[in-house]
Structure 1
């Protein structure tokens, strides 16, 4: 069953017809701003080349939310997705939520890049 009410630090596999992907596969995304009608996500890549602390956050393996490789979240993969997509797991498949330490790191990163 889909988790249609995304929360900060939730991980979703977002279908390429919702957020285009070069590999034409669901990209793992983390929720960073769950607003009323539009949800802001950061895409995750398993390629850590070009890591920059100003625009990227490292992400470790976390099998509990299907993060099976080390990777990073990048601001260049920031997307806005209409909330109704989260009610359909073919659009946004809920993979799990980050643990407390990872959620705190994500919050710190997101607040810093937004000037809070």
Structure 2
């Protein structure tokens, strides 16, 4: 990422349950690094607790604009609705921040809009 600072990269699952601090630290060092939430939003309660803290910390650190929603679905279509409902339930996020996570941040990452 140092050698190719214009290369946009996204990290799956916000770094996973074991690496939240490392994920945020990497986001601090590399502004071209984005992350998704994906399976972390629905898979099980312990993971939901982790991802809730990750989102709070990303917001506090100013990196929420690089957090993206992801369905991570192969064979669990019911989980998409579960993920959406969980993210919508986070009362520490504004409606604008939720919209950004659901769409706007990915649109910027994919250069769908300026």
TM class, shorter-chain normalised?
0.3 to 0.5
Task: Give the structure with the larger strand fraction.
Answer: 1
* TM-score between both structures, scaled by the size of structure 1: 0.34
Task: Give the structure with the larger helix fraction.
Answer: 2
* TM-score between both structures, scaled by the size of structure 2: 0.34
